Amino acid sequence: MFTLPLGDHARLRPLEPWQAPEFLAHIDRARASVDPWIPWATFSTDLDSATATLQRYADRLATDTGRIYGLWLDGTLVGGVMFTRFDSASGVCEIGCWLEPAGEGRGLVTQACRALIGWAFRERGMSRVEWWVTAGNTRSIAVARRLGMTRDGVLRQSSSYRGVRRDSEVWSVLSEEWPPLGDVSVSDVRAELDGLMRVFVGAFTNTGDRRPDLGVIRDVFIPQGRIIANVGDEPVIYDLDAFIEPRQKMLTDGTLTEFSEWEVAARTEIFGSIAHRFSEYRKSGFRNGAWFEGSGHKTTQFVRTSSGWKISSLAWDDEPAAIPE
């Protein structure tokens, strides 16, 4: 069975009927977010129906009319991509995706879809790849845009969900519009770098009932990455473990509560296989029960690796706290 790495901790590989128990457990976790958009999630409710779903795709694979692949993150199935239709005679196919919350914010679906679309065009000679999405599914529409697709139009009330008719949007990309192997647009790179920063900054959020997992920082950095605090007289330089462990504790032991940090401005420069970002951020929350707000600047360096872009180093400096008059 082939496996395609998507970063250090994620893998793309075929989903087959024998994996139905794992698939069902994943769909149970994903059902609330997936069910409104992916019809077969509604029907995969027990082991028999989950097996039947995967068997249908196995049958399509055998007749070269469809395929399904899973996305594993740290060994756990968190989503997937599929060719729901694959018509080599007409040169037209349709691609789709799904993801449970644990896999979000890492660019996994976009990377996986790029791999499948590139294969369809380069290896199978397809002319057109379509993306059908229910109007209002903003996450799916965002992926279509990141893949460089064009919105062809809307099919009014073409689908039904729990008795409600809904519009469908049709997006597509043509073979002549797909970048040659190794030729990725600046906008694609910028989107990938934006995604890395969203994962890093979002990792610290513990507002509401959200429990932060700073382990995701390892997914967006190279293993040798360094994080530097330059807020005092001398810079403090951390490797990933030294940075993550104490902050994970503070964000989960009550020291920092209702905490969030966000970028308010950023400038990114890209040159070949390296990139740099200078950004301004703000943050707020309760520290030991007292409300605080802050701001500062980050400088972030990126490098392109065999598994995509990664952060190689990040340094920050907080603005001095205002002194009450």
Interstrand relation of 221-229 and 308-318 (parallel, antiparallel or unpaired)? parallel
User: Nearest to residue 314, comparing CAs of 208, 230, 241?
Assistant: 230
Is the pLDDT at 322 greater than 70, yes or no? no
pLDDT at 27: 92
pLDDT at 184: 65
Is the pLDDT at 92 greater than 60, yes or no? yes
Q: Which residues pair with 71 in a beta bridge?
A: 12, 79
pLDDT at 173: 94
Could you tell me if residue 324 is inside a domain? no
Q: CA angle, 19 as apex, 14 and 21 as ends, to 5°?
A: 145
52 and 86 in a single domain? The answer is yes
113 and 257 in a single domain? The answer is no
Average pLDDT, the chain: 88
- Judge contact between 283 and 318, C-beta under 8 A: no
Q: What is the DSSP letter of 166?
A: E
Could you tell me if residue 102 is inside a domain? yes
State which of 131, 155, 177 marks the end of a domain: 177
Identify which has the larger pLDDT, 95 or 139: 95
In DSSP notation, 243-312 reads HHHHHHHHHHSSSEEEEEEEEEEEEEEEETTEEEEEEEEEEEEEETTEEEEEEEEEEEEEEEETTEEEEE
pLDDT at 321: 60
pLDDT at 182: 58
169 and 224 in a single domain? The answer is no
- Judge contact between 73 and 7, C-beta under 8 A: no
CA distance 147 to 275: 21
Three-class secondary structure of residue 71 per DSSP: strand
265 and 139 in a single domain? The answer is no
CA distance 110 to 172: 15
CA distance 295 to 264: 10
For residue range 145-199, what is the model confidence (pLDDT) as tens digits? Answer: 888 899 999 999 877 777 788 888 999 999 998 877 655 677 778 888 888 898 8
pLDDT at 183: 58
pLDDT at 199: 85
Which structure tokens are listed for 44? Answer: 């995969």
- Judge contact between 41 and 30, C-beta under 8 A: yes
In DSSP notation, 33-49 reads HHTTT-HHHHH--SHHH
307 and 236 in a single domain? The answer is yes
Residue with tokens 């970002």: 277
Could you tell me if residue 323 is inside a domain? no
Q: Residue 48 — pLDDT band, cuts 50, 70, 90?
A: very high
How many separate domains does the chain show? 2
210 and 313 in a single domain? The answer is yes
Give the residue numbers spanning the domain of 302: 186-318
- 237 alpha carbon, distance to own chain's centre: 29
Could you tell me if residue 109 is inside a domain? yes
Could you tell me if residue 107 is inside a domain? yes
117 and 242 in a single domain? The answer is no
For residue range 234-251, what is the model confidence (pLDDT) as tens digits? Answer: 999 999 999 999 999 999
Compute CA distances 232 → 45, 228, 235, 282, whole Å.
Answer: 56, 11, 7, 18
47 and 114 in a single domain? The answer is yes
pLDDT at 324: 39
Query: What CATH number did the domain enclosing 136 receive?
Result: 3.40.630.30
Region 11-30: mean pLDDT is: 93
- Residue 279: Cβ within 10 Å count: 19
Highest mean pLDDT: which range of 39-43, 110-114, 240-244: 240-244
Query: What CATH number did the domain enclosing 224 receive?
Result: 3.10.450.50
- On the 0-12 / 13-18 / 19+ scale of CB atoms within 10 A, 283 is middle
State which of 136, 159, 177 marks the end of a domain: 177
